[in-house]
Amino acid sequence: MPEGKIVKALSGFYYVLTADGLITQCRGRGIFRKNKINPLVGDSVVFQADNDREGYILEVLPRKNELVRPPIANIDQAILVFSAMEPEFSTALLDRFLVLVESKEVTPLICISKMDLIDQDEKLNFFAEYYRKIGYEVILISTKDPEGLKEILPYLKDRTSVIAGQSGVGKSSLLNVLRPELALKTNDISTHLGRGKHTTRHVELIEINDGFVADTPGFSSLEFQEMEAEEVKECFPEFVHISDQCKFRECTHLKEPKCAVKDAVETEKIAAFRYKHYVSFVEEIKDRKPRY
């Protein structure tokens, strides 16, 4: 039986791309619903083709990860797009995205867009350098500079990437520059709400530079529903790097004495804003209502 990758899901149909470049429109087997198996964009599947265009998915192969919102599987990389202005750059929101991405073992790429709207900004440069220092790739871009955007292309090769971030930061504009023939619909920022109008309606993988990029509706939920409080510290790489220096092996970096992370915050080796966000995320998880 042929195998392929689901590159689009729409109205109960799954569009499966095979290695030879053909796309077959498939339905899922009824037993999937019975067994609570939900094929996702990004899934590798075994299918049976009734003809050149139509078929049925027989098996969903094991996933390495999956996201719930947006519903997508087997992601290698998350391109997190945040704007320098309109809306204003937010480290709190970026750190929330980073924790969610790290928890799924997805590699983040931080893109700060709309750099054409600001002059050299010392504060923004500080943030960019700090995130680089703790191990993240950070690139500064402007959709008004198509040549500069090509800096992203090497990161896309041979990877399946999800593009996400603040609403209204130019995610669809970015894809339009990388592949102009897409002509993806974009909307201006809503001045009343300070956010972009929702423009992307379904999940679809788009081929760019020998890789796949998901143009998705973005993360409609940024809550830590699938995480426990003790897991959050593992999603801060600068904490992980020095945690073996804490007095207690299972140190939560909150109230324990002789904590290397808290000491590093005091000596400014770890940024205070990162530690503040860590504490607030842990408290948020501890305060959430139990699910039954």
For the record, the structure tokens of 9 come out as 């899901």
Distance of CA 230 to the CA centre of its chain: 22
Type of residue numbered 192:
H
Given the candidates 3.55.50.30, 3.40.190.10, 2.40.50.140, 2.40.70.10, the CATH classification of the domain at 3-62 is 2.40.50.140
Topology of 67-215 in CATH? Rossmann fold (3.40.50)
Say what the pLDDT of residue 118 is: 67
Cα–Cα distance for residue pair 7/20, rounded to 1 Å: 14
The pLDDT tens digits of the residues spanning 64-96 come to 998 877 788 999 999 898 877 767 788 999 999
pLDDT at 199: 43
Query: Which pLDDT value is given to residue 164?
Result: 80
Domains of the chain, by residue range, sit at 3-62, 67-215, 229-287
Which stretches in the chain have pLDDT values below 50?
186-200
Q: How far apart are CA 81 and CA 279, in angstroms?
A: 24
**Rounded distance between C-alpha atoms, residue 87 and residue 226, angstroms:** 28
The pLDDT of residue 238 is: 97
pTM of the full structure: 0.82
pLDDT of residue 57: 93
The Cα diameter of the chain in Å comes to 67
What type of residue is 85? M
For helices 272-287 and 91-103, what crossing angle results, to 10°? 60
**To which CATH superfamily is domain 229-287 assigned?**
Probable gtpase engc; domain 3 (1.10.40.50)
